[in-house]
Structure 1
Amino acid sequence: MIAIDWTSFALGAGAGSLMGVLFFAGLALGIQLALRTERAALVLALSAALRIAALLVAGWLVAGAGVTALAGFGLAFMLVRLIAISIMRISPPAEAC
């Protein structure tokens, strides 16, 4: 039987949840800022670069704690992604200014 370190998994899941929330909040903020400026591509590219870099750094740090923590990180991030997509599909679109 395979022994799973649940503490490590939970720490990875906590980090994955936090990074998922920050990632998708940053995405929403980047889109809102891009819609208000004439240089939308620059804003979106900078937003993507910052979000991806932060996610990679956090993933790298969690991977140092072991495979179990990394699995928790990935699963929690994907769960937050599923929740974010579900919320966006349910909520009505905002009126254009």
Structure 2
Amino acid sequence: MDLVITYDVNTTTPEGQRRLRDVAKICEGYGYRVQQSVFEVVCRNTDKVRLIAALATTIDPAHDSVRIYRLPTSALDTVEHLGKPRHRAPRDPLIL
């Protein structure tokens, strides 16, 4: 499945800054950063469940927000892009 993940983490405290780094690290484990707080992810249902669980235990729901958009199959293959070129295609292997 194709996902777009966006997040907004309150960074006014040291704990918030840590959460921001942790959220980014989790997302990097599943997809590619395409903008500051935006990731494109191609995954299976089981990966999505793990991803959501990891994010849910990391954020502070009173102060942070994560949005996960499920796109139609292969939607990331047809993204129109302007500006700085992509470094990877959405389905390129993810090497950690």
Q: Which structure: larger Rg?
A: 1
Check whether TM > 0.5.
Answer: no
Which structure has more relative contact order (CA 8 Å, sep 6+)? It is: 1
TM-score (norm 2): 0.37
Which has more strand, going by share of residues? 2
TM-score (norm 1): 0.36
